[in-house]
Structures are given as C-alpha cells and as structure tokens.
Amino acid sequence: MTNDKGSQESAPAGAAVAVTGATGFIGRHLCDHLRRRGWEVRAMARETSSCPFAEEGIRAFKCNLPDEVDPAALAGARAVVHCAYMMRFTDLASAHRVNDLGTRKILEMSRAAGAEQFVFLSSQSAHEEAESYYGKSKFELEKLLDPRRDLILRSGLVLGKEGQGLFHRMADMVAKSKAIPLFGGGRQPLQTVHVDDLCAAVSSALSRRLTGLYTVAEPHPVEMGEFLRRVAARLGKKPIFVPFPMAPALLFLRAVERLRIPFPVSSENLLGLKCLRSSDTRADMEALGVRLRSTEEALDEILGKPKC
C-alpha cells in the first residue's frame, strides 16, 4: 500500500529538520523517512555513538534532556520534530525532568534558533479526561504550543516490526502467555497507525507547513479484546482471554508496585487503557494528504496472515 501524493512531497531545497528522540522506535523510522524525502536530517539523541539509521547522511547531535542539548542541531533548522519522551521510569520526578522540563527546553531553544515549524508528537491518550501520567503530561505539554505556528500530531497505537514500544510489549505478552486478562472486558476502543504511515503524515505536514492539532490514526476503532485476538491469530497462539474488572485490577497492581514486585502490566498502563477514546480522523487524514493502513493491513504486514 502506498500513501497518496501528500506523503511523497519532497523537502524544500536545502531544508534541515531536527528530530529529538531520534534513536527511539518512532524517531529512527522518521529520520530515515525524512532523509529519503530529501531533508537534511539532524538526529538528536542521548547517545550519538550508535547509528541505527538505514539512510546515509544523517548527522547525530547530543540531546540528553533537559540539561545537554547541542545548539548546533537547531541552528538554521527549518523545522523541529519533538519525539523524545521517557516512557519507562522509576519515579515521577525523573519523568518530569525529561518530559516536561525537556519539552520546555527544546521549545525554547527552537524559538531562539528561529525554526519555522515546531512539531510535537503527542498521543490519543492526551485529553482532558486522561488519568495516566502519560496522557495528562502530553495534554499539558500541548498547551505550551501556539496553534497558529506549531503543530500537534496525536497518534494512535503505533504498529511496526521492530522496537520496544507498547505494541511490541503487547505482542510479546500474547506470544508468551496462556491466559490474557481483558481489563474492563477488553471493550476499550483502539485506533492504530503503522509507523511508516505516521512518518508519512509528519513528512506531509512539514511540506504543507500545517499548524494546529491533528489526530493520526486509522478511522475505524477496534475493541482492545478483538485487537489482542487478531494478534494471537497471527502469532499462531490460542490463549484464554479472561475478562477482569478494572477497579480490582488497579488495586492489585498498585499493591504489587508498592512491594516492588516485577509485573508485565503497570497501574499506569491500566489508567491509560481505562481512558481510551476514539475519534473520527477522516478530515485530519484528508488535510494531511495520507491514507493509513487499516489495523488488519498493518498486522498482516508486520506479523503475517492469521495462522489459526
């Protein structure tokens, strides 16, 4: 499947784009995608010695938020795409430093460097009813931006072949578990986006100089329980799916966390799951000029056709 002409637009001649979180799951795909579109890509990451990129000519710059940011990465950049975000943390103070203070730092430096576009990669979890730190933090950070000059892209659950993101942890759980709990009955609406389609949306938004807020997710939600069943079928697994009430699950996980017992699911995960909500993304996709793979198409490409 290919996106339409919006995602194929090339970069303005000689234009540079800086990408934070460049060695993460989304960041490294985005750097390669933008480089193929002709951008001068400046990859900003904590470690500059590793080079996970497939494309040549991507330059690495130090970015250890909020304290160490190489200003050379932003000097003369036409756009800045802020992907960096600490997902796994042992305490909220460290997460606050990297995510909240770090975002403020990058935005401040981007303004000072004269970047024309600032793109904040947010999430569908970010909304006024969010209960998880992740959703609440992303929502509050969105308020730092000016919709007249900045761009917020809220992505659905990002799917891709390799990585350590939420989808990969979910697939690993399905592959290894004989019983899968369906918290809240597994009825939460889930919208997905293939990582390549998300990159195409960012590229198109940069070329079109879009501002404001857009949600990048395929328009037809699937219930969480059904999504996990589809993953299991493609992995050739037949786990038992067990409905589990949300409230006692949260109490259990909080007790486990107080005792510091390792567990594959956290109370933070459940709070995010509890507050999932769907949105009609068709107008946003038209404005961005991209067509997204459906959940079925994305899973077929990543995991193969159902085996059972």
* pLDDT tens string 59-92: 999 999 999 999 999 999 999 999 999 987 777 8
For the chain, give every domain's residue range: 5-158+194-217+279-292
pLDDT at 154 over 80: yes
Q: Which of 192, 191, 189, 186 is nearest to 249 (CA)?
A: 186
**210, 147 Cβ separation under 8 angstroms:** no
Percent of the chain residues topping a pLDDT of 90: 84
The CATH number of 5-158+194-217+279-292 is: 3.40.50.720
250-263 burial, b if ≥16 CB within 10 A, otherwise e? Answer: beebeeeeeeeeee
Peptide linkage before 66 cis (omega within 30 of 0): yes
Q: Quick one: pLDDT band at residue 93, thresholds 50, 70, 90?
A: confident
Nearest alpha-carbon partner for 290 in 199, 156, 172? 199
pLDDT of res. 2: 43
Q: What is the pLDDT of residue 265?
A: 80
**Backbone angle region of 118, left / alpha / beta, with phi > 0 → left and psi within -120 to 50 → alpha:** beta
Cα of first residue to Cα of last residue in the chain, in angstroms, is 25
pLDDT (mean) for 147-165: 94
Task: pLDDT band for 8, please (50, 70, 90 cuts).
Answer: low
- Which two tokens mark 269? 């995960």
0.85 surpassed by pTM: yes
Which range in 37-51, 112-126, 246-260 is most confidently predicted, on average pLDDT?
A: 112-126
Alpha-carbon 43 to chain mean position: 17
Mean pLDDT, rounded, of the chain: 93
Q: What percentage of the chain has pLDDT greater than the value 70?
A: 97
